[in-house]
Structure 1
Amino acid sequence: MSSPNPGQLSSGSLPPITRYITGHNSDGKAIVQSSNPAEWSPFEHNTMAFTVAYTTSSFPADLNNDADLKEHERIASSGQLGLVNPNGTVCRVVDFAPKSRPLMHRTQSLDYGIVLEGEIEMQLDSGERKLLRKGDIAVQRGTMHAWHNPSETQWTRMVFVLQDCKPLVIQGEKLGEDLSQAKTDDIKPSR
C-alpha cells in the first residue's frame, strides 16, 4: 500500500482530486478563482489519508471581499485545524485502506459522510453495523462511531462535511469530542 503524497493519489485505484474555488470578476461574473491538486496527509500508519477541501469559521459564511477564503487560508496554514472547526464547517475527503483498523471516535459536530468510491462499514458503539455503498450517506449526530473498509484489495473514499454544533447532553452527561482511541499525534482535538 502506497503512502499518499501531496497532489497525488492515495492509492493506485482512486483518482486524484482537484479543488476548484470560484469567485467573481470585476463585472460580477462567476470565475474559477483558483484550482489546486489535493494535498494528502497520511494517518494511522498510512492506512488512512485526509485532505481538507475547505473550511468556514462562521455561520452563515461571509463571502464579501473574500473574507471566507482569507480565513480558510489562515486556518489551513496555521496547522491548528482539528477535526471540527469551532463555529464553522470542514469539508474533508478521507481515503481508507483495505482492511484498515476501525478508529472509534466522536466529534462534537453534525456530519454528512458520503461514500464516493468503494464500500465502508459504519460501526456504532452500541454494536450496530451498517454497510454503506457508493452514493450512500451517513448523517452522524455527535455519535461514537468508526469506519472500516471491509475490502481485501480496494481503497474506499468518502467526503465528510462537518458542522460545529452545540454540546450534546444525554441523560445529564455532556458528550464532547472523543479521540481517545487514536494512535497518532497528528489528529488534533478541535477544542
Structure 2
Amino acid sequence: MNKIPRRVVTGIQDGKSVIVEDQQIENAIEHFPGLIISDIWSTQKTPASLDSEIKILNTAFPQTPKNGTYFRYVVIPPDKNLGIDWKENEPHPMMHQTLTLDYIIILSGELYLIMEEGETLLKPGDIVIQRGTNHAWSNRSDEPCIQLAVLIDAEVKE
C-alpha cells in the first residue's frame, strides 16, 4: 500500500501551543485495487470545535456530516488497474455526486475530471472547486494520481 503522509495535530496544553500527535496516518483503506483513501479529519459542525477529534469511518464515498467537513487523501490508480471499461458517449461507470462544496488539489500524477458535459486534464498543482455536481475521475496514465480534498456540507437547492 502507498505510504500515506504523516499527520501532525496541534493543540493547547497549559496555555501554550503544542504538537499533540505526529505519526503516520493509520486510517487508510484500499477500497478497490490501488484506490487508497484516508479520511484524515472531520468536523461535525460549523463553527468547528477545536477541542476534540471524532474518529470517522473510512468509506469509498464520503459521508460528510450535516454542517460539517471531511478532509481526505486519495490515491487514484490508472483506470486499467481498476478494470474500468468506459466507452465514449456513455456515462462513466464511476460517475457520482456528493452534496458538498469540495476543494481538491492534485499533488502528483494526472487525472481527468469528467462531467456530464465535457472533461479536463488535471496535473500537479491544479485546484478543483467541485460544487455538488455529477462527476467522475479517470486516470488514463500509467501512474497513480494523488489528490487532497476538503469536502464541506452544502445547501441543496430544490
TM-score category of the 2 structures, normalised to the smaller one: 0.7 to 0.9
Quick one: structure 1 residues 130 and 77, their matched pair in 2 at CA, closer, same or farther if it must change by over 3 Å?
closer
Any unmatched runs of 5+ in structure 1?
10-14, 170-191
Give the structure 2 partner of residue 91 of structure 1: 71
Is the 1:48–1:96 contact (alpha carbons within 8 Å) kept by the matching residues of 2? yes
Partner of 2:48: 61
1:157 lines up with 2:146 in the alignment: yes
Aligned partner of 1:143 in structure 2 is: 133
Letter in 1 for 2:123: R
CA distance in 1 between counterparts of 2:63 and 2:37 reads 10
What is the letter of the counterpart of residue 114 of structure 2? Q
Partner-residue secondary structure (3-state), 1:140: strand
Distance 1:77 1:109 in 2: 18
How far off is 1:47 after superposition?
3.5
Structure 1 Cα separation of the partners of residues 78 and 62 of structure 2 = 25
Greater share of residues in helix: 1
- Cα displacement string for residues 108-143 of structure 1 (whole angstroms, at most 9, x for unaligned residues): 1000111011111000012x0100110101111010
Gapped runs of 5+ residues in structure 2?
85-91
Residues 48 and 57 from structure 1, CA distance in 2 versus in 1: closer, same or farther, beyond 3 angstroms? same
1:1-191 aligned within 5 A = 4=1, 9=2, 15-26=3-14, 28-38=15-25, 39-44=27-32, 46-63=33-50, 66=51, 68-69=52-53, 72-73=54-55, 76=56, 82-99=62-79, 100=82, 101=84, 103-126=94-117, 128-152=118-142, 154-169=143-158
- Percent identity between matched residues is 30
Q: Displacement, 1:78?
A: 9.7
Aligned to 2:88: none
The CA deviation at 1:85 is 2.1
Matched-pair contact (CA < 8 Å) for 2:29–2:36 = yes
TM-score normalized with structure 1 length: 0.70
Aligned residues: 145
